[in-house]
Amino acid sequence: MSNITLNQYLLDRQQSLAHLTPDLTQLIVQVSIACKAISAALHKGALANMLGSAGSDNVQGEVQKKLDVVSNVLMVDTLLSGGKVAALASEEMDEMIAGNDDAKYLVLFDPLDGSSNIDINMSVGTIFSILQQQSTSAACFEDFMQEGRKQIVAGYVLYGPSTMLVLTLSDGVDVFTLDRDIGEFILTAERLSIPEDTQEFAINSSNTRHWEAPVKRYIDECIAGKTGVRGKDFNMRWVACMVGDIHRILTRGGIFMYPYDLKDPSKAGRLRLMYEANPMGMLIEQAGGAASTGRLPILDVKPNDLHQRIPVILGSKNEVERLVSYHQETTSA
């Protein structure tokens, strides 16, 4: 088993990655420190009166859990005190927060993905993305409006039976596991690779009646199994935590879908481009998978708002491409 800590890994990678500067290395370590603190708070749970609602809503109009608020504060305070972030933005906050004027990195994050799982003691996670500031003046809203392909770092931390950090530096995907005895993330898997084919899909099937025709067609074919046109049986998996579902796909393949639906036609999608789709899309592509809205690659979407929503289809390459082809057939019909 590897004894390489996250710090040592980052120092080693500085030799081969020009964009991995000492400041960026420190910033990634600061993210990991905040996530260690979140992990500790989660493991205390009811013992520290951490469960239940915070009695407030976030910018999305969603009821916040106590741990949503705690996790957001831990991320914000840790990153600002580290001095390596020019500005940060969170799914839980209306606006960006300015950091150090001398810094040149922007951090976006979902501090606690899947927080509806907290009170039933199931997996949750933290998702993060790092961009390089484009302007030379103090960071502003426009600096964040970069396509996902311009991310230089993306990752998530999964709080499950063990706490795991999954990271890409734009050069493959590696995994670290938190050793609680020494308080360090240790490298435990390298160069994750997603199988191009799969027999697992993840989707919230309660929205079936609202799906567009291409998605209905795809899911119907999966459910038909060996007796249908696909000629093989599929299994459905759904964790209700994007981090959990994506971790499974990175580990053994699969396809994750939160597509556009007609439940609320005014919303372009359910998931957030900046805090969920872009970082997860980068991780999936770096591991050999594909990430699409159904109509174009997620990482090519030009942002127009910090809290922009989009459809999300990502995972094993051949399955994503099949579903994208169904959207194309519908558009051209």
148-168 pLDDT per residue, tens: 999 999 999 999 999 999 999
170 is known to lie in a ligand binding site: no
114 is known to lie in a ligand binding site: yes
276 is known to lie in a ligand binding site: yes
112 is known to lie in a ligand binding site: yes
pLDDT bracket for residue 193 (50, 70, 90): very high
123 is known to lie in a ligand binding site: no
Residue 34 in this model has a pLDDT that exceeds 80: yes
285 is known to lie in a ligand binding site: no
Residue 216 in this model has a pLDDT that exceeds 80: yes
142 is known to lie in a ligand binding site: no
Please state the rounded mean pLDDT for residues 107-130: 92
Half-sphere exposure of 224 (CA within 13 A, CB side): 11
Residue 43 in this model has a pLDDT that exceeds 90: no
- Identify the burial level of 113 via C-beta atoms within 10 angstroms of its C-beta, where 0-12 means exposed, 13-18 middle and 19 or more buried: buried
pTM (2 decimals)?
0.94
In the chain, residues under CATH classification 3.40.190.80 are 200-332
Please state the rounded mean pLDDT for residues 212-240: 96
The strand pairing partners of 256, in sequence order, are 202, 314
The CATH topology of domain 200-332 is D-Maltodextrin-Binding Protein; domain 2 (3.40.190)
In the chain, residues under CATH classification 3.30.540.10 are 6-189
Mean of all residue pLDDT scores within the chain: 93
pLDDT bracket for residue 146 (50, 70, 90): very high
Per DSSP bridges, beta strands 200-203 and 255-258 are parallel
What's the 3-state SS for the chain?
CCCCEHHHHHHHHCCCCCCCCHHHHHHHHHHHHHHHHHHHHHHHHHHHCCCCEEEEECCCCCEEEHHHHHHHHHHHHHHHHHCCCCEEEECCCCCCEECCCCCCEEEEEEEEECHHHHHHCCCEEEEEEEEECCCCCCCCHHHHCCCHHHCCEEEEEEECCCEEEEEECCCCEEEEEEECCCCEEEEEECCCCCCCCCCEEEECHHHHHHECHHHHHHHHHHHHHHHCCCCCCCEECCCCCHHHHHHHHHHHCCEEEECCECCCCCCCCCEEHHHHHHHHHHHHHHCCCEEECCCCEHHHCCCCCCCCEECEEEECHHHHHHHHHHHHHHHHC
pLDDT of residue 66: 83
Q: Domain 6-189 belongs to what architecture?
A: 2-Layer Sandwich (3.30)
Residue 96 in this model has a pLDDT that exceeds 70: yes
91 is known to lie in a ligand binding site: yes
pLDDT of residue 53: 62
